């Protein structure tokens, strides 16, 4: 089986043209930088669509499987339109993500609402919007959701989020399935939660269990084990409460290839492991086949996104590091500062030039930790060169900020030789639009 999109550092349509420039979506990235300015997020539509189709194909042998995009990775109205046309649902974790879907005419029944501290306003928006499912994370939310549902005289279909006790080997901040986690019910708390639902919270309909073991996962056995843990709970719940659960949500977390050292499994590899374990455990526990839900985020969008920067100043530390600054940094990509995340990059205007130096790419922000890439080998790098950092489709825009009052970049979608703005570049006026000066202050 050929590799899948998550296994490539470069976007699916990336190539080097006759000018020794990087092309994506049939367009010269150097020209895109000139037209739209930098920093600039560039998204390869063909890569996104191909990955959506690979997920659907990989799980197609299981007749009741559903793919939801974890929208926290990259949520815009244009992304919602792509997902809708590809038959992919949404996993949202906030009222803002849900509102974006609403404004995109996304089918509400194909949305699941996750999150560990949803507000009553967010729950009301979800109920009024008639979304498909709400995944309940804790006891307080059970009570709050039932109260909101009662006030609206409606019944709500829910999943319970389970902490399965599985620890994957990723950065500790993106591990969510181990026992010491802020997310979900511990297995020992499930009985109490179900008793509350069946006896007190009568406006809640329990449909299934949800679990998510983390992010940027390269291990494969971990998915096999997760299926077994969840279906064991299905069997126990059926025996004790006479409830046959209908849905099993395994979350997402499949890793991507940021650098040559990364070796993520393919989408097909993971699907086979999940489905083999599912069939084995259904037979083991004598259970009917549930609806299977997968929630990939990073693996759908990450490899299809790049960020273009313009090179500026440089500093050679005597007998030490050469720092090269670009016109962005930790406000458009905080992941190196937060997670020590590693990236690969090329000079988009000198792709195949001879490698001549090792430099560290620094951002423009007033923090010593604002470093995007340490010790990368590049051709002679000069002010005005265009640096293309790969694999920035996931979480970069989502986690961006206005630190130092710098405007957020624009984002464009490229496809078959055309480019379209899907996020406008912020202006200075945008930065002060919500500012207010009290009358008692004189300016």
Reduced to 3 states, what is the DSSP secondary structure of residue 141? helix
Phi, psi of 381 (to 5 degrees): -110, 130
CA–CA separation, 203 vs 152, rounded Å?
10
366 part of the active site: yes
Name the catalytic one among 81, 302, 366, 443: 366
The CA-atom distances, in angstroms, between 77 and each of 68, 80, 109, 142 are 16, 5, 17, 30
**39 preceded by a cis bond (ω within 30 of 0):** yes
Per DSSP bridges, beta strands 156-163 and 185-186 are parallel
| CA distance linking residue 404 with residue 408, whole number of Å | 11
Q: Residue with structure tokens 């004598």?
A: 286
Residue with tokens 């670009």: 326
Phi, psi of 7 (to 5 degrees): -95, 10
Rounded CA separation 186/189 (Å):
5
The DSSP bridge partners found for residue 159 are 135, 208
Q: What is the distance between the terminal CA atoms of the chain, rounded to a whole angstrom? A: 66
Which three-class secondary structure state does DSSP give residue 136? strand
Scanning the structure block, which residue is given the tokens 């998204």? 43
Residue 329 and residue 364 in contact, taking contact as beta carbons nearer than 8 Å: yes
Locate the DSSP E strands across 33-75: 40-44, 65-70
- Our CA angle for 52, 53, 54, nearest 5°, is 90
Q: Are 393 and 404 in contact (CB under 8 A)?
A: no
Distance in angstroms (rounded) separating the CA atoms of residues 354 and 276: 48
Catalytic amino acids?
A: 366
């Amino acid at each position: 089986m050929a590799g899948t999109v998550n296994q490539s550092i470069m976007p699916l349509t990336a190539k080097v043209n006759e000018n020794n420039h990087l092309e994506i979506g049939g367009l010269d990235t150097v020209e895109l930088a000139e037209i739209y300015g930098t920093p600039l997020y560039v998204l390869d539509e063909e890569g996104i669509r191909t990955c959506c189709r690979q997920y659907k194909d990989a799980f197609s042998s299981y007749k009741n499987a559903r793919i939801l995009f974890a929208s926290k990775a990259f949520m815009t109205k244009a992304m919602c339109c792509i997902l809708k046309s590809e038959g992919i649902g949404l996993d949202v974790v906030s009222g803002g993500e849900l509102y974006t879907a609403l404004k995109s005419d996304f089918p509400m029944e194909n949305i699941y609402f996750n999150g560990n501290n949803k507000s009553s306003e967010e729950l009301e928006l979800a109920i009024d919007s008639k979304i498909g499912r709400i995944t309940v994370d804790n006891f307080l939310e059970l009570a709050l959701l039932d109260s909101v549902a009662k006030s609206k005289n409606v019944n709500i279909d829910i999943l319970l989020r389970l902490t399965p006790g599985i620890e994957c080997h990723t950065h500790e901040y993106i591990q969510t399935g181990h026992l010491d986690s802020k997310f979900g019910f511990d297995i020992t708390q499930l009985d109490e939660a179900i008793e509350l639902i069946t006896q007190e919270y009568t406006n809640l309909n329990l449909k299934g269990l949800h679990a998510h073991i983390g992010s940027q996962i390269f291990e494969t056995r971990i998915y096999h084990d997760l299926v077994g843990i969840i279906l064991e709970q299905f069997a126990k719940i059926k025996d004790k409460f006479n409830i046959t659960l209908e849905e099993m949500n395994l979350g997402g977390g499949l890793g991507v290839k940021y650098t040559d050292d990364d070796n993520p499994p393919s989408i097909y590899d993971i699907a086979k492991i999940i489905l083999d374990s599912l069939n084995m455990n259904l037979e083991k526990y004598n259970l009917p086949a549930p609806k299977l839900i997968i929630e990939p985020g990073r693996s759908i969008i990450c490899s299809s996104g790049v960020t273009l920067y313009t090179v500026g100043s440089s500093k050679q530390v005597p007998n030490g590091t050469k720092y090269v600054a670009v016109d962005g940094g930790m406000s458009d990509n905080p992941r190196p500062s937060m997670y020590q995340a590693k990236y690969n990059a090329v000079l988009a205007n000198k792709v195949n030039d001879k490698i001549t130096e090792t430099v560290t790419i620094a951002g423009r922000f007033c923090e010593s930790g604002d470093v995007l890439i340490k010790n990368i080998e590049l051709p002679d790098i000069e002010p005005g060169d265009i640096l293309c950092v790969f694999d920035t489709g996931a979480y970069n825009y989502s986690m961006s900020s206005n630190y130092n009052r710098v405007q957020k970049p624009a984002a464009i979608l490229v496809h078959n030789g055309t480019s379209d703005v899907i996020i406008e570049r912020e202006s200075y006026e945008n930065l002060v639009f919500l500012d207010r000066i009290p009358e008692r202050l004189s300016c």
